[in-house]
């Protein structure tokens, strides 16, 4: 028994629909199981739609506010605004459309970004933007390169807090934010792999004027269509790509020939009509997390303990010439919520494990094992044993 088994064992009965006690689900960094209350939220939505019809929206907005407040608490950010959307890609595109990219075509990013960011920036680079990709492996060098690249042609810096392939934490965000501030350049932080894993105080880290992308699909257990862009209360950006939900409060006013208006609240970067069922589902999960005492510190300790245990099990079985290794050598304090391994056969290993009903994840030569708060040590042992059996069969 490991320290984290106590919490995991207590949580498992609450995930009966996903049967987490009897399955090896190690894509926690990509898709975690939903607690049973999420299904109750879906049923609640169906009852409310049938009863309220088109007047369901106010209740949907109340559910979204529950999610916003959860994020404000997590980020120690009572003054921050949080725009809800279906996915982070929609939010980053809306945000980018706020800037004069023709006259300031440089965007600085890193080599460790997730597809929603890296793919879009690479495509914009093909269309004439100057996208500068800085190596991310060394935080100090990353900081110095960003400082060196900041100039009058720079529109934005767009980087992750935790790199999606390797789980390495960017430890220089405060310094990067300060450099961007001095240069008058906004900083966008992709925190899809940080929320609910590694606590972050926007106030203490000096990130009040920064923008943060947040996704509910992974560690929050909110499922799809619950993504947010955190932006400062002082933000006056006017995105060119905009939907009518960005000015929902003025819908009853007559259209005129004046400038397009934006509400003062959270939805500045919003698009249009969406299915609010995802917010009903997620709001139930928020209540569940609070009842279970899953605070940022508790979650951080759980993930840290699980990843340390997975790492120890891996190193115990690994041998010279196995063809698989750890993807980095950082300490647990500088690592997020999953174990990252490197092998030229990563995708084959993943496929072989999946054929046995074992869920892992592969990106190129990176194989990722992501536990969740409900993952027990016995399941960690089983997945590492299965991993090395798959390696031996290559």
| Domain CATH code at residue 30 | 3.90.1150.10
Q: Which residues contact 131 (CB under 8 A, 6 or more apart)?
A: 106, 107, 109, 121, 122, 124, 125
Q: Is there a single domain that holds both residue 274 and residue 308?
A: no
Contact indicator for 154, 134 with CB cutoff of 8 Å: no
> Are the C-beta atoms of 279 and 57 separated by less than 8 Å?
no
- Residue 275: count other Cβ atoms within 10 Å of its Cβ: 11
Six token digits for residue 376: 């027990």
Range of the domain at 302: 5-35+294-392
Per the structure block, which two tokens stand in for 328? 């980095």
- The answer on 263 and 345 residing in a single domain is no
CATH of the domain at 106: 3.40.640.10
Q: How far apart are CA 132 and CA 221, in angstroms?
A: 33
CA–CA distance, 311 with 212 (Å, rounded to integer)? 30
Same domain, 28 and 155: no
Q: Residue 211 and residue 339: Cα distance in Å, rounded?
A: 27
For residues 107 and 101, what is the distance between their CA atoms, to the nearest angstrom? Answer: 9
Per-residue pLDDT, 131: 98
Cα within 13 Å of Cα(142), Cβ side: 26
Q: Do both 61 and 116 map to the same domain? A: yes
Q: Whole-angstrom Cα distance, residue 269 to residue 92?
A: 9
From 287, 318, 349, the end of a domain falls on 287
Total domains present in the chain: 2
With both helix axes pointing from N to C terminus, report the angle between 88-96 and 115-126 in degrees, rounded to the nearest 10. Answer: 40
Tokens of residue 132, six digits = 């500068």
241 and 301 both lie in a single domain: no
Tokens for 244? Answer: 């009518």
Structure confidence at residue 245 (pLDDT)? 87
Residues 337 and 199 in one domain: no
Asked if residue 299 and residue 281 are part of one domain, the reply reads: no
190 and 69: one domain?
yes
pLDDT tens digit string along 173-217?
A: 999 999 999 999 999 999 999 999 999 999 999 999 999 999 998
Do 254 and 276 lie in one domain? The reply is: yes
Can you tell me whether residue 144 is helix, strand or coil? helix
Q: Can you list the alpha helix ranges (DSSP code H) found in 83-172?
A: 88-96, 115-126, 139-149
Q: Which helix (H) or strand (E) holds 106?
A: strand 106-110
Which of 185, 254, 175, 169 has the alpha carbon at shortest distance from 207? 175
Euclidean distance between CA atoms 64 and 158, whole angstroms: 26
Same domain? For 133 and 193 the reply is yes
Residue finishing a domain among 287, 315, 338: 287
**Final residue in a domain of this structure, among 287, 311, 341:** 287
Separation CA 117–CA 98 (nearest Å): 16
Residues across the chain = 394
Distance CA 124, CA 105 (A): 10
The pLDDT value recorded for residue 356 is: 97
* pLDDT of 257: 73
Are 246 and 387 in the same domain? no
* Under-50 pLDDT residues of the chain: none
Q: Tell me, yes or no, whether 265 and 317 share the same domain.
A: no
Distance from C-alpha of 167 to C-alpha of 82, rounded to nearest angstrom: 25
The per-residue pLDDT for range 228-256, each reduced to its tens digit, is 999 999 999 999 999 988 887 766 666 67
């Amino acid at each position: 028994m490991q320290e984290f088994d106590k919490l995991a064992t207590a949580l498992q009965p609450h995930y009966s629909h996903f049967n987490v006690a009897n399955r090896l689900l190690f894509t926690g960094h990509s898709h975690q199981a939903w607690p049973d209350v999420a299904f109750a939220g879906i049923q609640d939505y169906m009852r409310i739609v049938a009863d309220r019809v088109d007047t369901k929206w106010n209740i949907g907005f109340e559910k979204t506010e529950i999610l916003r407040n959860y994020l404000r608490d997590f980020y120690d950010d009572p003054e921050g605004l949080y725009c809800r959307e279906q996915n982070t890609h929609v939010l980053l595109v809306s945000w980018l459309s706020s800037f004069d990219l023709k006259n300031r075509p440089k965007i600085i990013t890193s080599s460790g970004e997730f597809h929603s960011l890296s793919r879009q920036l690479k495509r914009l680079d093909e269309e004439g933007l100057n996208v500068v990709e800085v190596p991310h492996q060394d935080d100090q060098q990353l900081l110095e390169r960003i400082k060196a690249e900041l100039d009058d042609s720079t529109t934005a810096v767009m980087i992750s807090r935790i790199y999606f392939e390797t789980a390495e934490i960017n430890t220089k965000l405060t310094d990067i934010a300060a450099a961007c501030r001095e240069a008058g350049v906004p900083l966008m932080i992709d925190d899809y792999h940080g929320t609910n894993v590694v606590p972050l105080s926007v106030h203490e880290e000096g990130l009040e004027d920064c923008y943060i992308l947040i996704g509910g699909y992974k560690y929050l257990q909110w499922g799809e269509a619950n993504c947010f862009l955190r932006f400062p209360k002082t933000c006056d950006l006017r995105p060119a790509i905009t939907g009518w939900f960005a000015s929902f409060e003025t819908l009853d006013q007559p259209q005129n020939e004046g400038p397009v208006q934006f509400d003062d609240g959270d939805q500045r970067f919003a698009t249009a009509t969406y299915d609010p069922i995802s917010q009903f589902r997620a709001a139930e999960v928020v209540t569940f997390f609070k009842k279970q005492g899953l605070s940022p510190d508790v979650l951080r300790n759980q993930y840290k303990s699980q990843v340390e245990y997975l790492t120890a099990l891996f190193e115990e079985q690994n041998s010279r010439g196995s063809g698989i290794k750890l993807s980095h050598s950082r300490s647990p304090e500088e690592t997020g919520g999953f174990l990252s391994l490197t092998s030229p056969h990563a995708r084959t290993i993943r496929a072989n494990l999946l054929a046995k009903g074992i869920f892992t994840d592969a990106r190129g030569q990176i194989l990722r094992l992501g536990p969740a708060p409900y993952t027990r040590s016995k399941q960690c042992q089983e997945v590492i044993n299965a991993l090395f059996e798959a390696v031996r069969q290559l």
